[in-house]
Structure 1
Amino acid sequence: MLPAAAGYDRAITVFSPDGRLYQVEYAIETVRRGTLAIGIKSKDGIILAVEEKPRKLQNSDITQKIFQVDDHIGVAAAGYIPDARSQVDNARFFSQSNRMIYDEPIEVEAVAKHLADQAQQYTQYAGVRPFGVALIIAGIDKSGSTIYLTDPSGTYISYDAVAIGAGADQVTEFLEKNYKKDMSVEDAAAMAIESIYLVSEEKDGTKHIKMAQIPIATKQLTRTSEKDIEQFAVKAKDNIAKRPK
């Protein structure tokens, strides 16, 4: 980088002459280098799926990238996961406070906006750095099924299906071609696994895949068992075999 641009590179609160905040862009690049996370909305629920690459002796029973905020809200993260834990703790406190004050479950958009506002605050003050993580915030409230994406810049956008992390552009293209709003939650789960296989080094097995779902019938986030993930993977492989090469 040229010496003239070095100051803008180091200072989080200063725009470069071409209107960029370099530290925010670096944080977004951290997200792009993280392993894949996916959120897919179906007619009867929401699927959150992530790729995790555990070490050989690591206990893989604990999911590192999927979190529960409230009974009806889950989060999948890509990027610097310790930052995700910090934001999720904030979201849990915010959600619990809403229940105590208003005696009702919080709306998904309120959580997404709250976390996006927090991320934006970390882009404009000296002495802090942007969060190096993007979050898929999914849940079912009185307005129905909702998925939001937040990123280090403080943006939050609603999606029917979204992917973040390494290979997200390729997966997004795949989802744009194949996603259908009237698909079942089982079809959505198979599509999520198919998306992970699309960009992962591991094209077989399910040990590197973690998943959670929020059915409309219960509005309760549940972790998907390894046995169920294996069944969805069989369906995903059938779908891969049927797709034109």
Structure 2
Amino acid sequence: MEYAIETVRRGTLAIGIKSKDGVILAVEEKARKLQISNVTQKIFQVDDHIGVAAAGYIPDARTQVDHARFFAQSNRLIYDEPVDVEGVAKNIADMAQQFTQYAGVRPFGVALILAGVDKNGSALFLTDPSGTYIGYDAVAIGAGSDQVTEFLEKSYKADISLDEGAALAIESIYLVSEEKTGTRHLKMAIIDNKTKTMRKVEDEEIERYASMARDRTSKRGT
């Protein structure tokens, strides 16, 4: 279990922020020079209204996401309604916990941030290799997450707008990233309260949020 948690700590940063208008997922992805950068490796879609950001061993994340997708689709078929975000978080956590108690298997070396909008409103949950799941207003996982969590505790406000939340997420990544400018290493997805649908944020929009983040940083420095 200690190795699994350490794998998460060494993963690149992932952030989830809940705003009054929806939920934001943002990650840092360090692409190689010749790598196609428009394919997101760390953000996944579980259902129309639920997204996931991962830190740690990404192949393990894909396994958990596939499991969550099956659970979400089964819920639609059986109950004819979208699954609750907390229900998916609990299901993933239950799966992770089983891999901590049997011989011959290893714990999943990944933590997931689940974000979505359901009948209860916007929701944000963290699952970890131990099988724990906890709800948050804002959360960070991966390398530098302790520093980012401290920053979010000081900067986050419950009435934050979607744009401000996206800018705060990017400002948080810049705080611990080796790259303090540019957006090639940033990926983002948003689920807003109106459409209840996850969408990938395009590069031009990320650049706008990054500009807002740099302005916020410069104001704090003055």
Q: TM-score, normalised by structure 2?
A: 0.99
In structure 1, the gaps of 5 or more residues are 1-23
Report the Cα distance in structure 1 between the residues aligned to 2:20 and 2:164, rounded to whole angstroms: 10
**Aligned twin of 1:11:** none
Within the candidate set 70, 75, 78, 1:101 is matched to: 78
Within the candidate set 156, 163, 179, 2:156 is matched to: 179
Give yes or no for the alignment of 1:148 onto 2:125: yes
Give yes or no for the alignment of 1:58 onto 2:71: no
Report the Cα distance in structure 1 between the residues aligned to 2:5 and 2:164, rounded to whole angstroms: 30
Within the candidate set 170, 187, 190, 1:210 is matched to: 187
Give yes or no for the alignment of 1:226 onto 2:207: no
Report the Cα distance in structure 2 between the residues aligned to 1:141 and 1:25, rounded to whole angstroms: 34
Q: RMSD in angstroms over aligned alpha carbons? A: 0.6
Residues 117-153 of structure 1, C-alpha deviations (whole Å, 9 max, x = no match): 0000000001100000000001100111100000000
Q: Compare relative contact order (CA 8 Å, sep 6+) and give the higher one, 1 or 2.
A: 2
In structure 2, the gaps of 5 or more residues are none
| Greater Rg over alpha carbons, structure | 1
- Aligned AA for 1:200? S
Report the Cα distance in structure 2 between the residues aligned to 1:186 and 1:94, rounded to whole angstroms: 31
Report the Cα distance in structure 2 between the residues aligned to 1:25 and 1:139, rounded to whole angstroms: 29
Within the candidate set 46, 55, 64, 1:78 is matched to: 55
Q: TM-score, normalised by structure 1?
A: 0.90
Within the candidate set 153, 164, 168, 2:145 is matched to: 168
Instruction: Give how far 1:25 is off.
Output: 1.2
- Aligned AA for 2:35? Q
Report the Cα distance in structure 1 between the residues aligned to 2:2 and 2:135, rounded to whole angstroms: 21
**Aligned twin of 1:240:** 217
**% identity of equivalent residues:** 73
Report the Cα distance in structure 1 between the residues aligned to 2:125 and 2:19, rounded to whole angstroms: 15
Report the 3-state secondary structure (helix = DSSP H, G, I; strand = E; otherwise coil) of the residue aligned with 1:243.
helix
**Aligned twin of 2:88:** 111
Instruction: Give how far 1:26 is off.
Output: 1.1
Give yes or no for the alignment of 1:30 onto 2:7: yes
Residues 6-44 of structure 1, C-alpha deviations (whole Å, 9 max, x = no match): xxxxxxxxxxxxxxxxxx111001000000000000000
- Aligned AA for 1:235? M
Report the Cα distance in structure 1 between the residues aligned to 2:87 and 2:166, rounded to whole angstroms: 26
State how many pairs are aligned.
222
Give yes or no for the alignment of 1:157 onto 2:134: yes
Report the Cα distance in structure 2 between the residues aligned to 1:117 and 1:90, rounded to whole angstroms: 11
Instruction: Give how far 1:210 is off.
Output: 0.1
Report the 3-state secondary structure (helix = DSSP H, G, I; strand = E; otherwise coil) of the residue aligned with 1:55.
coil
Residues 87-145 of structure 1, C-alpha deviations (whole Å, 9 max, x = no match): 00000000000000000000000000000000000000011000000000011001111
**Aligned twin of 1:6:** none
